[in-house]
């Protein structure tokens, strides 16, 4: 049933490039190598290429998961020298130049390489309190977003079933930890849900009275943005009914509440739904490579790679994206990972062609940052120019749609956005998808 056994045998003399991680960085490496005479293996533990910046829209029922997570094979179908492998990498042998991974049926496979690019990404950090993750889940994978959607919509269902006011209030309180772009976006959408989408669907509760709290340990929302945009965002959030609490750190959480500390002292907020959008913790692959080569990592576990994204002390090995840190401390955003991916792909192509010169260091071109606040509101800064309001929202929409993979997903996303904005402010994808008995395990629970 092999399609091309003879050609394969011939191909095996070409240099092998293994790319670990099918996110923004990894896919760009494969694309940059499309016309180079190498064999690329793109290994990922999921079958899809996730557009993380729109995950919060899945969590709040605007977009279906499929539109922001096309099949990884489909994304690289035109890169005929790239094959994708669904497996989880657990070991990298730099001596033998082999990546070891486990397939979904727990079968061990070895992927030999001549060049290796590790793009394992990062997740949120619970700052040493990993046990909080069960009560305040993060949002980094499609499964995370689906679980959150069940939590959020389930909380309203349970609020309506609640028999006393205290319990009802606990279900109708939503706390978002971390006021970076993800935290701001999810808090804004929670406010939209409560005030505009759900009210007419409920009979015995007034969803508009739901309390949405956005916490941050730092002094401002959207820390990397210009102060003017930070102030604008905070005002907009407050106008939408979000309670913004800055200089306030989470100190503990359980099924029913979250404890916070600020200059006003300690407090326990009773809330069944907590969403974690704070901190950064690099993929464990960073620590593995650090240990094997003696390369330092920063506090978030990110590898300190060289100016050409190479791993010091391991020839032909590169690391890119959210799991690395560079001398110029680039932000952990998709643009950096993509540009690094393209850079490393080209660098490998040059080396395959015999280039042994010292490479020009990687240089990040900042194309601007943006974040949405709620429906029709956003902030953006592009090379010192700041934009706010509806115009920024249109810009945000344009940029995000264009970065989705494939016209089918772009149009589909535009359609769902139009629907959420205009058509009775509906959300098309409100599936909890759990039957009674199962839901008990997934939903915010009584202790």
- Please spell the DSSP secondary structure of 345-408, one letter per residue: HHHHHHHHTT--SPPPPP------EEEEEETTEEEEEETTEEEEHHHHHHHHHHHHHHHSSSHH
The only residue of 14, 83, 100, 410 in contact with a copy of itself, by rule CB under 8 A: 83
Q: Indicate the residue among 168 and 234 with the shorter CB distance to a copy of itself.
A: 168
Residue 326 CB, nearest approach to a copy of itself (Å): 28
Q: Which of 23, 154, 301, 345 binds a copy of itself (CB under 8 A)?
A: 154
C-alpha closest to that of 134 among 435, 429, 447: 447
Contacts of a copy of itself in 387-416 (CB under 8 A): 406-409, 411-412, 415-416
Q: Cβ contacts of residue 116 below 8 Å, gap of 6+?
A: 17, 18, 19, 20, 92, 97, 99, 316, 317, 318
One residue of 249, 292, 421, 439 binding a copy of itself per CB under 8 A? 439
Bridge-based pairing state of the strands 281-282 and 377-382: unpaired
Task: Answer for the pair 119, 341: CB distance below 8 angstroms, yes or no.
Answer: yes
CB of 21 to a copy of itself, least distance (A): 12
Measured from the CB atom, is 313 or 433 closer to a copy of itself?
433
Please indicate whether residue 185 is annotated as part of the active site: yes
* Long-range Cβ pairs for the range 412-421 (8 Å, 24+): 412/67, 413/54, 413/63, 413/67, 413/68, 416/62, 416/63, 416/64, 416/67, 417/62, 420/62, 420/375, 421/375, 421/376
Task: Select 385 or 424, whichever has its Cβ closest to a copy of itself.
Answer: 424
132 contacts: CB under 8 Å, gap ≥ 6: 126, 250, 252, 253, 276
Which one of residues 48, 97, 151, 274 is an interface residue with a copy of itself (CB under 8 A)?
48
**Does 436 participate in binding a copy of itself (rule CB under 8 A)?**
yes
If the CB atoms of residues 379 and 405 are measured against a copy of itself, the closer one turns out to be: 405
User: Quick one: which of 14, 73, 245, 261 contacts a copy of itself (CB under 8 A)?
Assistant: 73
Q: Are 341 and 27 in contact (CB under 8 A)?
A: yes
The only residue of 20, 33, 153, 184 in contact with a copy of itself, by rule CB under 8 A: 153
- Binders of a copy of itself among 3-22, rule CB under 8 A? 3-4, 8
Distance CA 423, CA 400 (A): 21
Comparing CB distances to a copy of itself, the nearer of 190 and 217 is 190
CB atoms within 10 A of CB 269: 21
Which residue among 14, 47, 316, 350 contacts a copy of itself (CB under 8 A)?
A: 47
Nearer to a copy of itself, 79 or 216 (CB): 79
Find the binding residues for a copy of itself in span 88-147 (CB under 8 A). 88, 101-107, 109, 141-143, 146
Token pair 């956003």: residue:
378
Q: Is 20 helix (H, G, I), strand (E, B) or coil?
A: strand
Looking at the Cβ atoms of 244 and 432, the one nearer to a copy of itself is 432
- Tell me the two tokens of residue 242: 């979000």
Least distance in Å: CB of 138 to a copy of itself? Answer: 14
Residues in CB range of 228: below 8 A, 6 or more apart: 386
DSSP string for residues in 171-186: HTEEEEE--SHHHHHH
Which tokens belong to 247? 């200089």
Q: Is 42 in the site for a copy of itself (CB under 8 A)?
A: no
Return the residues of window 206-265 that contact a copy of itself according to CB under 8 A. Answer: 206, 209
Binding region for a copy of itself (CB under 8 A) out of 75-83, 91-99, 110-118, 131-139: 75-83
Nearest distance in Å: CB 164, a copy of itself: 11
Contacts of a copy of itself in 182-211 (CB under 8 A): 200-206, 209
Cβ-based nearer residue to a copy of itself, 69 or 379? 69
Q: How far is the CB of 309 from a copy of itself (least distance, A)?
A: 26
Closest CA to 71 of 34, 89, 53, 44: 44
Candidate ranges 44-52, 113-121, 258-266, 283-291; the one touching a copy of itself (CB under 8 A): 44-52
Q: At what angle do helices 389-403 and 407-421 cross, to 10 degrees?
A: 150
Least distance between a copy of itself and beta carbon 248 (Å): 25
Interacting residues with a copy of itself between 270 and 329 (CB under 8 A):
none
Catalytic residue among 79, 88, 108, 185: 185
- Does position 70 interact with a copy of itself (CB under 8 A)? The reply is yes
Window of 81-89, 230-238, 300-308, 381-389 that interacts with a copy of itself by CB under 8 A: 81-89
Sorted by sequence, the CB contacts under 8 Å of residue 376 that are 6+ apart come out as: 390, 393, 421
Locate 314 and state its tokens: 């391991």
As annotated, the active-site residues are 185
């Amino acid at each position: 049933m092999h399609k091309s056994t003879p050609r394969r045998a011939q191909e095996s003399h070409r240099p092998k490039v293994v790319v670990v991680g099918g996110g923004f960085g990894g896919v760009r490496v494969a694309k940059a190598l499309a016309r180079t005479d190498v064999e690329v293996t793109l290994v990922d533990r999921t079958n899809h290429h996730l557009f993380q910046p729109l995950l919060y829209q899945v969590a709040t029922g605007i977009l279906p998961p499929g539109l922001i997570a096309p099949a990884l094979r489909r994304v690289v179908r035109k890169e005929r020298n790239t094959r994708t492998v669904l497996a989880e990498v657990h070991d990298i042998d730099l001596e033998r130049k082999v990546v070891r991974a486990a397939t979904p049926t727990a079968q061990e496979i070895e992927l030999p390489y001549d060049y290796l690019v590790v793009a394992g990404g990062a997740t949120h950090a619970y700052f040493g309190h990993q046990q909080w993750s069960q009560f305040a889940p993060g949002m980094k994978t499609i499964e995370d977003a689906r679980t959150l959607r069940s939590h959020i919509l389930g909380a309203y269902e349970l609020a309506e079933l609640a028999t006393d006011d205290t319990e009802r209030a606990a279900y109708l309180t939503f706390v978002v930890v971390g006021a970076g772009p993800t935290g701001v976006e999810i808090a804004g959408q929670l406010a939209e849900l409560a005030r505009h989408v759900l009210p007419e669907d409920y009979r015995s509760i007034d969803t508009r009275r739901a309390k949405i709290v956005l916490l941050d340990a730092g002094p401002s929302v959207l820390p990397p943005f210009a102060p003017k945009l930070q102030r604008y965002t905070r005002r907009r959030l407050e106008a939408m009914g979000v309670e913004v609490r800055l200089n306030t750190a989470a100190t503990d959480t359980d099924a029913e509440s979250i404890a916070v500390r600020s200059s006003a002292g300690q407090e326990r907020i009773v809330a069944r739904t907590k969403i974690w959008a704070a901190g950064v913790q690099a993929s464990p692959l960073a620590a593995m490579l650090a240990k094997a080569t003696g390369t330092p990592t920063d506090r978030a576990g990110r590898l300190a790679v060289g100016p050409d994204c190479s791993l010091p002390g391991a020839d032909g090995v590169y690391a890119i994206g959210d799991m690395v840190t560079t001398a110029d401390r680039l932000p952990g955003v998709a643009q950096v990972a993509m540009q690094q991916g393209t850079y490393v792909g080209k660098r490998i192509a040059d080396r395959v062609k015999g280039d042994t010169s010292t490479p020009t260091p990687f240089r990040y071109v900042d194309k601007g940052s943006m974040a949405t606040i709620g429906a029709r509101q956003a902030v953006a800064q592009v090379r010192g120019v700041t934009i706010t309001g509806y115009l920024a929202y249109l810009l945000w929409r344009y940029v995000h749609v264009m970065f989705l993979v494939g016209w089918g997903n772009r149009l589909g996303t535009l359609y769902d956005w139009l629907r959420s904005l205009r058509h009775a402010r509906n959300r098309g994808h409100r599936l909890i998808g759990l039957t009674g008995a199962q839901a008990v395990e997934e939903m915010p629970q009584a202790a």
